[in-house]
Structure 1
Amino acid sequence: MEPVAGSLLVAAPTMSDPNFARTIVLLLDAGHDGALGVVLNRPTDLEVAAVLQPWAGVVSGPDVLFSGGPVETDSALAVANVPDDDEPVGWRRVFASTGLVDLDVPVELLASAVSSLRIFAGYAGWSAGQLEDEIADGAWYVVPAEESDAFGADPAGLWATVLRRQGGQLAMLATMPSEPTMN
């Protein structure tokens, strides 16, 4: 599968970069100029209310910021599910009913349209050709996303969950210990 907006990058069990070890990245944009996404399974301890108070009542649990990646960690991106076919002001569809929220739009304009929302500090980014090279080197598996991936109740278990649902050899990787030499 090609890396396109709305697909997931699953870090290979051998990923050595600590920023991405055992992560699931939702691609928000991918093209000839590069790719951008957010890590879905790295919640922080910082409550949304402490940083973006107006959005605290809209976020899906856990009510914390997620570490979206190592790039621009002082900025925030929000991903939301809007189940209606309407596209409210301040929301841009990425795939199905999942899209990006403009956090500068007044929360009142979006709150009633959003069924799930997560806020990410920073993002993951790749320059032109970089992601494709990493995929070719076996660092990432590209798989289809499900709408619930970005908002699941168990972010820590997402890596294994996504691998298991792929079946075959990818499903077997879900049971690989994080330190195979310690097995």
Structure 2
Amino acid sequence: MAQREPPPPTDPVEPEGYLAGQLLVAMPGMSDPRFARSVICLCAHSPDGAMGIVLNQPLDNLSFDDLLGQLGLAPVPPARRIRLTQGGPVEGGRGFVLHTADWETEGSLTVKPGLALTASVEILKAIAGGGGPREGVLALGYAGWGPGQLDSELHQNAWLSVPADEALLFAERPDQLWRAAMARLGIDPSALSGSAGHA
């Protein structure tokens, strides 16, 4: 009996979820103003689409204590606070906490080893009471892409990807995060910006 050749792999270059847990860094010529100079932690990436949290668009008009008050939660000493960010243009009223995986609850999504995403109020209660994860950032809304959309943007060089570590994920100065992520790649943005965005 003749041996049949095994079928070729369907997608040998980009396996499912291949960028989950990475940072997307907007190129200087990013045409969408909502994502200009943005740094996004990609939380999920598959053939069905992608979802991420913008890390460097701080919410200046809302504090963690304000948010707790809106949810009817009172900080319990020793209260902790975490940074708030505008996580993206989709579902801007919904909260997500991107955090170290030393604290998780049912429904937490593992982004990569050591990093999780939780959308339940339980994590806010834990943080307000002085517990919860060691590091975290609270995002309102998220960035989303349909099937193949992010892959297309990557092929058009709209984004660079950078390995995510805690120094970048939970940076104390989000206004400097874009340059810090570029520097991690050994890129001087000013060397790119002169040629980016020109037809």
Task: Note whether the superposition's TM-score is higher than 0.5.
Answer: yes
TM class by smaller structure: 0.7 to 0.9
Residue 55 to residue 67, structure 1, CA distance change in 2 (3 Å): farther
Q: Which among 113, 117, 121 is matched to residue 100 of structure 1?
A: 117
Letter in 1 for 2:112: F
Q: Secondary structure at the match of 2:121?
A: coil
The 2-side partners of 1:106 and 1:116 are apart by 12
Rg (Cα) greater in structure? 2
Residue 107 to residue 76, structure 1, CA distance change in 2 (3 Å): closer
Residue 30 to residue 106, structure 1, CA distance change in 2 (3 Å): closer
**Shift, 1:166, TM fit:** 1.0
Letter in 2 for 1:157: Q
**Shift, 1:76, TM fit:** 1.0
The 1-side partners of 2:52 and 2:166 are apart by 15
- How many percent of aligned residue pairs carry the same amino acid? 33
Q: Secondary structure at the match of 1:44?
A: coil
Question: Is 1:38 the counterpart of 2:53 in the alignment?
Answer: yes
Residue 36 to residue 55, structure 1, CA distance change in 2 (3 Å): farther
Q: Alpha-carbon deviations, 1:50-102, whole Å to 9, x = none? A: 12344864433xx4x210011111111111113x4xx5324432123221123
Letter in 2 for 1:40: L
Q: Secondary structure at the match of 1:128?
A: coil
Contact map agreement 2:162 2:184 (CA 8 A) in 1:
no
The 2-side partners of 1:136 and 1:55 are apart by 47
Q: Name segments (4+ residues, structure 1) moved above 3 Å.
A: 53-59, 106-111, 174-178
Unaligned runs of at least 5 residues, structure 1:
none
**Shift, 1:175, TM fit:** 6.5
Question: Is 1:20 the counterpart of 2:39 in the alignment?
Answer: no
Contact map agreement 2:50 2:147 (CA 8 A) in 1:
yes
Question: Is 1:59 the counterpart of 2:81 in the alignment?
Answer: yes
Q: Alpha-carbon deviations, 1:108-131, whole Å to 9, x = none? A: 557534111211111000000000
CA RMSD in angstroms comes to 2.8
Structure with the larger strand share: 1
Question: Is 1:160 the counterpart of 2:179 in the alignment?
Answer: yes
The TM-score, its normalising length taken from structure 2, stands at: 0.75
Unaligned runs of at least 5 residues, structure 2:
1-12
The TM-score, its normalising length taken from structure 1, stands at: 0.81
Question: Is 1:80 the counterpart of 2:95 in the alignment?
Answer: no
Contact map agreement 1:68 1:122 (CA 8 A) in 2:
yes
Q: Secondary structure at the match of 2:122?
A: coil
Q: How many residues align?
A: 172
Contact map agreement 2:29 2:193 (CA 8 A) in 1:
no
